[in-house]
């Protein structure tokens, strides 16, 4: 039987791990690094560059180098998140035929799922070279607050990469699995604060012997280290414009240099109180080349980022409220994601909980390790581990007047079944349309439409008299089944809501066929 790997498909960096001789191991790439940049580039000669190779040439090939595409996976082109991502972005984002965002590199467009697949294929290659065998199956992590479309798009990416995705597991849950690995008879309530490159999640879990139960989860799928970088880039642009009178926003190469410098400065300021950003020949003015030289202090960065950190703590408070817990009832706070290394983040978390966060895990590797542990649990029938997760977003149906009625609230433990009786809105109405929605808004159109079906054959009667029972069932894998039954006639209709990504089956197959040209085979 071939190995099953665990992959942390990150916004900024990705990581792959496997359980070897009973111990989870992070697999280094060819260069010896434990993480690989989640970057993809198309060179002038058409060659595809992934990871460190893509990052090294990003400045000279900025308009054809994609980074942070995970933030856009499963989204619609017209969304506010895509508009925000387009700001200060050196590569072009266009609208695909399905209304999804696509990256224009040269004369070719790439879907977000396709970019993710290229990164996953690189992780698969790294694992195959390390293990010396073909890899066909994987557990892949996603932010806990990803909706169905984002999760399905991630599974589509796995399929394109030639992987059977055995399970999609939430990143904070994976981190908790890694934290709890090898701890015998430890009963704790832990909170995972996961601030990565593009997303933020907070999950509260109860850990006992062989049981990991998620109590509540909350998050923001468009908040992370990229936003800290963007704030610092804007600060540098404004400083340069004030001194030189030149706006760098329209220069792709300058923007990429600024982004790299901002990311480095941000990391430096986790260990120093100030750093210098020095970018010679950043622009050309009427009297020759211009250079950027700015001193950035930790105080400046913390002032710029204070609102973002406050937003994360507001989300922490919401998650605690949903779990019915107070800060002093949390035994351990686990910091995950590279941005959690920021001193301001650690200080705010410590102040909120009245204790220092746990630092016994590597924030860059812990999610991949947890995914590998989950992968091993799926293979090992003798392993006694029960994972109880929750639905991150509420589920309901559209009702009269454009409203949404929730049947299953967010943070409900899976599996679950809920039913509610609805009625007609017109006299002699013989059919009703059931529109299955996901989201927190009371307005139907502000939620995601997962599916719809029609229940016909309702007996003719005055409006308000017929009784139609709508039932939701969600299994442990998150598969949603919805049924509607006329209580007077017994007539019933149902659907299984299969999550839909932004790609059709035909387009997925086309991309698979095209990308097979770039695949390297490993002998069994």
pLDDT in tens, 439-477: 999 999 999 888 888 988 898 999 999 999 999 998 876
Q: List Cα–Cα distances, 135 to 122, 220, 387, 451, in angstroms.
A: 12, 32, 25, 34
Q: With 60 as the cut, is the pLDDT of residue 294 above it?
A: yes
Indicate yes or no: pTM above 0.75: yes
**Could you tell me if 486 and 467 are in contact, meaning their C-beta atoms sit under 8 angstroms apart?**
yes
CA 337, chain centre distance (Å): 12
- Report whether pLDDT(170) > 90: yes
- Burial annotation 233-259 (CB, 10 A radius, 16+ → b, else e): bbbbbebbeeeeebebeebbbbbbbbb
Q: CA 26 from chain center: how many Å? A: 20
| Cα radius of gyration (the chain) | 24
For residue 107, the model assigns a pLDDT of 87
CATH number of 4-183+361-385: 3.30.420.40
Question: 423, 463 in Cβ contact below 8 A?
Answer: yes
- The model's confidence at residue 523, banded by pLDDT at 50, 70 and 90, is very low
- Given the residues 122, 148, 156, 194, select the one marked as catalytic: 194
C-alpha–C-alpha distance, residues 330 and 88, integer Å: 39
| Phi, psi (deg, nearest 5) at residue 360 | -85, 5
The residue whose two tokens read 């880039």 is 233
Residue among 40, 14, 31, 26 at smallest CA distance from 372: 26
Confidence grade of residue 524 (pLDDT, cut at 50, 70, 90): very low
Q: Pick the closest to residue 168 from 185, 155, 149 (CA basis).
A: 155
HEC string for 375-416:
HHHHHCCCCCCEEECEECCCEEEEECCCEEEEEECCCEECCE
Taking the domains of the chain in order of start, what are their residue ranges? 4-183+361-385, 225-302, 393-500
Is residue 70 flagged as an active site residue?
Answer: yes
Better-scored residue on pLDDT, 2 or 240: 240
Closest CA to 13 of 336, 292, 322: 336
Query: Is 25 within 8 Å of 6 (Cβ atoms)?
Result: no
In a 10 Å sphere around its CB, with 0-12 CB exposed, 13-18 middle and 19+ buried, how is residue 355 labelled? Answer: middle
Exposure on the CB side of residue 512, measured as CA atoms within 13 A: 15
> What are residue 178's phi and psi, to 5 degrees?
-65, -40
> Apex CA 193: angle with CA 189 and CA 196, to 5°?
150
Mean pLDDT of 356-363: 91
Q: List the beta strands (DSSP E) in 286-325.
A: 288-297
The mean pLDDT of the chain is 91
pLDDT at 520 over 60: no
Q: Which of 55, 70, 159, 259 is catalytic?
A: 70
CATH architecture for residues 393-500: Sandwich (2.60)
Residues 6+ apart with CB under 8 A from 24: 6, 17, 18, 178, 181, 369, 372, 373, 376
Q: What integer pLDDT is reported at residue 494 of this predicted model? A: 87
User: Does the structure show a pLDDT above 60 at 519?
Assistant: no
Percent of the chain at pLDDT > 70 equals 96
- Please report, rounded to a whole number, the percentage of residues in the chain having pLDDT higher than 90: 76
Model confidence band, residue 522 (pLDDT cutoffs 50, 70, 90): very low
Contacts of 517 (CB under 8 A, 6+ apart): none
With H, G, I as helix, E, B as strand and everything else as coil, classify residue 225: helix
> How many whole angstroms separate alpha carbon 434 and alpha carbon 131?
49
pLDDT digits (tens, 9 = 90+) for 237-270: 999 999 999 999 988 999 999 999 999 999 999 9
Write out pLDDT tens, residues 409-427: 999 998 999 999 999 999 9
363-406 per-position pLDDT tens digit? 999 999 999 999 998 887 666 678 889 999 999 999 989 999 99
Report helix angle 298-323 to 225-244, nearest 10. 150
Instruction: Retrieve residue 51's tokens.
Output: 């990871």
pLDDT in tens, 36-75: 999 999 998 889 999 999 999 999 999 999 999 999 999 9
- Residue 192's pLDDT is 97
Query: What pLDDT shows up at residue 380?
Result: 76
**195 DSSP β-pair partners:** 200
The answer for residues whose C-beta is within 8 angstroms of residue 47's C-beta and 6 or more apart is none
Q: Which of 101-110, 205-214, 282-291, 327-336 has the highest mean pLDDT?
A: 327-336
pLDDT above 60 (res 521): no
Q: Rounded distance, CA 268 to CA 298, Å?
A: 9
CATH topology of domain 225-302: Actin; Chain A, domain 4 (3.90.640)
Q: How far apart are CA 18 and CA 24, in angstroms?
A: 6
Catalytic residue chosen out of the listed positions 100, 137, 156, 171: 171
* Contact between residue 252 and residue 90 where contact means Cβ atoms under 8 Å apart: yes
Residue 144 tokens read as 């806990």
- C-beta separation of 190 from 333 below 8 A: yes
pLDDT at 504 over 80: no
Q: What is the DSSP letter of 427?
A: T
């Amino acid at each position: 039987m071939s190995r099953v790997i665990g992959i942390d498909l990150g916004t900024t960096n990705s990581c792959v791990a496997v359980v070897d001789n009973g111990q989870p191991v992070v697999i280094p790439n060819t260069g010896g690094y434990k993480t690989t940049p989640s970057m993809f580039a198309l060179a002038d000669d058409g060659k595809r560059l992934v990871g460190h190779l893509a990052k090294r040439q990003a400045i000279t090939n900025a308009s054809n180098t994609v980074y942070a595409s995970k933030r856009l996976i499963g989204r619609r082109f017209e969304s506010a998140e895509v508009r925000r991502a387009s700001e200060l972005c050196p590569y072009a984002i266009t609208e695909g035929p399905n209304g999804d965002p696509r990256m224009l590199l040269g004369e070719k467009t790439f879907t977000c799922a396709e970019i993710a697949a290229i990164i996953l294929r690189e992780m698969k290659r790294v694992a195959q070279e390390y293990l010396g065998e073909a890899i066909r199956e994987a557990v892949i992590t996603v932010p806990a607050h990803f909706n169905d479309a984002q999760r399905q798009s991630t599974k589509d990416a796995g399929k394109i990469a030639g992987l059977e995705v055995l399970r999609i597991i939430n990143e904070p849950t994976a981190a908790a699995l890694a934290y709890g690995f090898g701890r015998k008879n430890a009963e704790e309530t832990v909170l995972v604060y996961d601030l990565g490159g593009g997303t933020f999640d907070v999950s509260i879990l109860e850990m006992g012997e062989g049981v990991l139960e998620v109590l509540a989860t909350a998050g923001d799928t468009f908040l992370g280290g990229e936003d800290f970088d963007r704030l610092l880039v804007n600060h540098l642009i404004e400083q340069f414009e004030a001194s030189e009178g030149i706006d760098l926003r329209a220069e792709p190469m300058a923007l990429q240099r600024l982004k790299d410098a901002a990311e480095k400065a941000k990391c430096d300021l986790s260990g120093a109180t100030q750093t210098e950003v020095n970018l010679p020949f950043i622009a050309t003015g009427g009297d020759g080349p211009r250079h950027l030289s700015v001193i950035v202090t930790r105080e400046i960065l913390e002032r710029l980022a204070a609102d973002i950190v406050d937003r994360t703590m507001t989300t922490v408070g919401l998650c605690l409220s949903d779990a019915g817990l107070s800060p002093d009832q949390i035994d351990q706070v686990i910091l995950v994601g590279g941005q959690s290394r920021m001193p301001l983040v650690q200080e705010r978390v410590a102040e909120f909980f009245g204790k220092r966060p746990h630092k016994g895990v590597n924030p860059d590797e812990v999610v991949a390790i947890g995914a590998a542990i989950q992968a091993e649990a799926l293979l090992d029938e003798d392993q006694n581990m029960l994972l109880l997760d929750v639905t991150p977003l509420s589920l309901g149906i559209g009702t009269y007047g454009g409203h949404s009625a929730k049947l299953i609230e967010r943070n409900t433990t899976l599996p679950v079944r809920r039913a509610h009786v609805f009625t007609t809105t017109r006299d002699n109405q013989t059919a009703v349309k059931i529109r299955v929605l996901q989201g927190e808004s009371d307005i139907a159109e502000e939620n995601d439409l997962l599916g719809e079906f029609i229940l016909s054959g309702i007996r003719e009667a005055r409006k308000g008299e017929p009784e139609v029972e709508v039932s939701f069932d969600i299994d442990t894998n998150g598969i949603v089944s919805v049924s509607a039954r006329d209580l007077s006639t017994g007539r019933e209709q149902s659907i299984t809501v299969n999550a839909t990504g932004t790609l059709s089956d035909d387009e997925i197959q086309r991309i698979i066929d095209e990308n097979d040209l770039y695949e390297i085979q490993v002998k069994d």
